[in-house]
Structure 1
């Protein structure tokens, strides 16, 4: 099994050889590492994309708006992703963003995942019927469980989610009251190790 370091380095070098700058290649290396770490087929999609790139001239997307439509061919997932990451803090204010036609959309996905970490919000992205919940670049929840190549997505929607607790006030108060019942009878040895500290202790 290839290490994440090998995946990162090889993807980066291949991206440079495919015509991208070293700066973008560095980002792609990190992205493919993320996809593989999260169990998504990064290497497979990147390899196939570079083959198709020799035959097609995918459209660049440098300035992202609320609605983005490719004119002829699909958007390049790498340039679109780089733009999304660079503009993430501004795009957050749009709440929802739409794209029509992105090539190899799984390669676009990690850029959005990293944007989730930058803005401190979860992001929900839908690639046709494939759904992904991006959690601050720590993990990805999805209904897409295959190891297949995804050559394009016709419709892509992105929604920035407000940060809310998954529990209600009553559930929290009940658990907090239970936590206050905790009691550790202190011995000299426990005092020395700091056991028995309360919730408000800063030691």
Structure 2
């Protein structure tokens, strides 16, 4: 099915909240899915894959320990949404130290929107890479895929985000039309979103919420 960027963002935000992320993180997830879809990637499918991994896990199991040179979560892989938000919040460390390193991360493509936003925010070019994959982002938000051998990997480690002089003019630009929303992906995200709905009760109906009893008169 076809979906607009607004519809993708709304569905993905609610699904992320239903999977247990805070509303703040859920909003970031929705925006990330929108950015990916607007740049020729399948944002909803990528988010759905990550939410399957996150569902039922505590924030403390998914968040990076930013107190070390390499951000990591001992014993488990980190969520790229949480890492991406942290990278945006601590982007100044890239300017100070020249780089931020990450340990094991799942669905690394979800990092792209955050790196792009950080490049724009700091006004510098950034390179995001892991073994077999290199992407570069300009301050103007243009993204280029330089090496794509492991671009679609679902589990990676040794991720680095480094400051570079300028983004490459060669490679594959991140662009394209919005990918159709697969039925299976939509249904899964919708099932997560449904968890955020408040079930109707006899009290809410009698107090005037929804149709109430007046429709039966």
Distance (whole Å) between structure 1 residues aligned to residue 46 and residue 67 of structure 2:
23
Flag structure 1 segments of 5+ consecutive residues without an equivalent: 167-203
- CA deviation profile, 1:164-190 (whole Å, cap 9, x unmatched): 9x8xxxxxxxxxxxxxxxxxxxxxxxx
| Higher RCO structure, 1 or 2 (CA under 8 Å, sep 6+) | 2
User: Displacement of 1:59 after TM fit?
Assistant: 2.9
Equivalent position of 1:34 in the other structure: 35
Matching residue of 2:115 = 112
Higher CA-based Rg: 1
Q: Which moved more, 1:34-43 or 1:112-121?
A: 34-43
Map Cα deviations across residues 92-111 of structure 1 (whole Å, 9 max, x no partner): 21102222211111112211
Q: Which residue of 1 aligns with 2:73?
A: 70
The TM-score, its normalising length taken from structure 1, stands at 0.71
Aligned pairs (5 A) from 1:33-182: 33-54=34-55, 58-61=61-64, 63=66, 65-136=68-139, 138-143=141-146, 150-162=153-165
Cα distance in 2 between the residues matched to 1:125 and 1:151: 16
Q: Which moved more, 1:39-48 or 1:118-127?
A: 39-48
Deviation at 1:27, TM superposition (A): 1.4
Change (3 A) 1:66 1:94: farther
Q: Number of aligned residue pairs: give it.
A: 165
The answer as to whether partners of 1:38 and 1:139 remain within 8 angstroms in 2 is no
Report the Cα distance in structure 2 between the residues aligned to 1:79 and 1:71, rounded to whole angstroms: 15
Q: Per-residue CA shift, 1:97-137, capped at 9, x if unaligned?
A: 22221111111221111111110011001122111111236
Q: Which is further off, 118-127 or 83-92?
A: 83-92
Contact 1:62/1:80 (8 A) holds in 2: no
The CA deviation at 1:163 is 5.3
Q: Which residue in the other structure is 2:11 paired with?
A: 10
Taking structure 2 as the reference length, the TM-score comes to 0.67
